[in-house]
Structure 1
Amino acid sequence: MRGEASRIADRESRDSLAPKLRDTREDAWRIGNELFKITSVLDHTLPLERALTDPSRPVADKVAVLNELFQGNEHPMTMEIMTDLVARRWSRARDIANAVEDFGVDAMMYYADATDSTLQVSIELSQLHSALLTLPVVRAKLYDDQATSESRVKLFREVFDGKGLNKITMRLAEHATCNLRRRRYLETIQWLINKFSRHMGESMVTVTTATPLTKEQVDRLTDIYSAKAGRPVHINSVVDPSVLGGMRIQVGDEVTDNTVVAQLQNLHRTVKAGTN
């Protein structure tokens, strides 16, 4: 969990630079890839993280470190993002890598917007999540920190190449296994799904169920949420057998959880509170 200073730094930086990053359009693909590489470098180089987040160190010195790191090969927007981040205060040194990764995902979403593929990528990430739920051995290997990142990426490509996935979906999925960042693979894919859902706002309704929705259920949910939003919405169906039954519905940041698991958890909390 990030400290208050890091949350403020991350939010203010992204709010400030989002319009500029969005305006890079097709260049956002290059920027996102550069930011993912920087995330990995930071994750594996604690002294660099400390140097870039040391509050006693002048910002000019930190920018000099960035210049030495990039050697003039970075996109100007990448440098602007990094310069902004190193000028802010962070609760912990490693939090700056989280912020860089956030920007990397934002760049990929803006590239998806520029290439009219945002909805496609969101759907594909959900399909990938559902597919991996039925492939426990593959899933385990994709977050095996004893294996090399190259072998994990190779495995992902062996399983999913030829499936017609958008290159943005492929890049995000490969980033998730190339740099594990102390997360399980499906957790990262779900995090990406949530980010795309928030990015699309009320145009995307993510419905998680234990079994696939029927066409009639999808049509009914589409009618209900299109009427609420005042415009057509897309139902993003995610299959997760672990919810047992019921539905979890996410619209932007709002989540309504009526799954069996959620009800059992609520019952457990109620019983526990009653015995205290």
Structure 2
Amino acid sequence: MRASSVRTLATMVAAVDKDLGKASEKDGTQVAEELFALSDLFDSNIRLTRNLSDPARTAADKQALVTKIFQGNLSAPVLDGVMALAAGRWSTEADLGEAARILGKHVLLKTAQDNGKLDDVERDIFAMGQVIGKNRELRNFLTDSHRAPANERIETFNKLIGEKVEPLALRLVDAVIERALPGHLGADIRALLDSAAQLRSRAMATIYTAAPLSDTQQSRLVNLLSKRAGHDVVVNVVVDPSLIGGVKIRRGDVVVDGAVSTRAAEFRRKLAS
């Protein structure tokens, strides 16, 4: 999204959060589902998105259209969010559907936080990301629209996961799978974790290591990363024996690779050149 769409999305988040308050898990999930359905509507109805994003129309005119179409069909938080959507400016029409999806995921994360479940939801999202990341066949299946419709792919994934995770975490990952493109699923799940971390004004990093870290080692790494970032950093640790030694750290799109296996591979390439 470009700047104008990002600013409008921020206004939508504020409008929805104000009405949502500290919602119960049931109410928060209902609001998120309305936003996901709204996203599907925007993606499929070009005429509607064109009218709501038309810079030549006044905010009042577009909000009147929202009232005519959605009054009585949406909960108060979602209706206020769509009012903010209509009043804002958009870089492209396609951003309306994306904004509604982003907002739906934000509502699920906020609901988890308000109900004291954000730690568990973050843990479960990370665990599901690991399952997907380590299983190429599963990853390919979940992102291949030619093999099965999205609802069937999600149903297969949910049966695999079962009741082992928080429902809010599973719904968030399902929402990612619904629109994930081949090669992007891992990054999209990491983006969920980043969004969860931002709710607490902290960053998320993943540390890959050949052997388990001691509490002291992990604490030192957390302190070092937090100091460099200028704010708190929360870490997930993945043990990967193939690294042989050293550590690899991923924070957002930044990767610091100090693994012995990587240095050995670089050395072999230099010898071969």
Match for residue 225 of structure 1 among 203, 222, 227: 222
Residue of structure 1 in register with 2:9 after alignment: 10
Report SS of the residue matched to 2:201.
helix
| CA distance 1:149–1:134, change in 2 (3 Å) | same
Per-residue Cα deviation, 1:251-270 (whole angstroms, up to 9, x for no partner): xx8x8642159x99xx9xxx
TM-score of the aligned structures, taking structure 2 as reference length: 0.78
In the alignment, which residue of structure 1 is the partner of 2:257? 259
Query: Per-residue deviation at 1:103?
Result: 1.6
Give the aligned partner of residue 47 of structure 1. 47
When residues 67 and 177 of structure 1 are mapped into structure 2, their CA distance, relative to the original with a 3 A threshold, is farther
Counterpart check, 1:129 vs 2:129 = yes
Whether the 8 Å CA contact 1:21–1:77 is kept in 2: the answer is yes
Match in the other structure for 1:158: 159
The residue number in structure 2 matching 1:272 is none
Tell me the amino acid that sits aligned with residue 171 of structure 1.
Answer: R
Cα pair 1:222 1:234 within 8 Å, conserved: no
The structure-2 alpha-carbon separation of the partners of 1:224 and 1:183, relative to structure 1 and needing over 3 Å to count, comes to closer
- Aligned-residue offset at 1:158: 2.0
Residue 8 of structure 1 aligns to a residue whose secondary structure is helix
Aligned 1:83-102 pairs, distance under 5 A: 83-102=83-102
Residue matched to 2:82? 82
Amino acid in the other structure paired with 2:7 = I
User: 2:270 matched to which residue of 1?
Assistant: none
1:62-120 deviation digits (Å, cap 9, x = unpaired): 33443455451321010001110111111111112222222212211110012111011
Partner-residue secondary structure (3-state), 2:48:
helix
Distance in structure 2 (CA, Å) of the matches to 1:22 and 1:125: 23
- Across the two proteins, how many residue pairs are aligned to each other? 254
2:72 aligned residue: 72
Question: Which runs of 5 or more residues in structure 1 are unaligned?
Answer: 268-276
How far does residue 219 in structure 1 lie from its aligned partner after superposition? Answer: 4.2
Question: Which residue of the partner structure matches residue 111 of structure 1?
Answer: 111
Deviations 1:157-210 (A, max 9, x none): 121113x110111111111122347883223212111111222334x6522316
Aligned to 1:32: 32
Q: Which amino acid aligns with 1:99?
A: A
- In structure 2, distance between residues paired with 1:71 and 1:242: 57
* Residues 249 and 85 of structure 1, relative CA distance in 2, 3 Å threshold: same
Stretches of structure 2 lacking an aligned partner (at least 5 in a row): 267-273
Residues 34, 78 of structure 1: 8 Å contact kept: yes
CA contact (8 A) 1:35 1:100 kept: yes
Moved more, 30-39 or 57-66: 57-66
Separation in structure 2 between the aligned mates of residue 214 and residue 172 of structure 1, nearest angstrom: 29
Decide whether the 8 Å contact of 2:208 with 2:240 is kept in 1: yes
Q: Is the CA contact (8 Å cut-off) linking 2:39 and 2:98 kept in structure 1?
A: yes
* Alignment-mate amino acid for residue 152 of structure 2: S
CA contact (8 A) 2:53 2:86 kept: yes
Q: Distance in 1 between matches of 2:184 and 2:200?
A: 25
Partner of 2:237: 237
Question: Is this contact kept in 2: 1:127–1:238, CA < 8 A?
Answer: no
Change (3 A) 1:243 1:176: farther
Please say if residues 21 and 28 of structure 1, whose CA atoms lie closer than 8 Å, have aligned partners that are also in contact. Answer: no
Residue 200 of structure 2 aligns to a residue in which SS? helix
Q: Which amino acid aligns with 1:225?
A: V
TM-score after normalising by structure 1: 0.77
**Cα distance, 1:22 vs. partner?**
5.8
Equivalent-residue separation in structure 2 for 1:5 and 1:221 (angstroms): 40
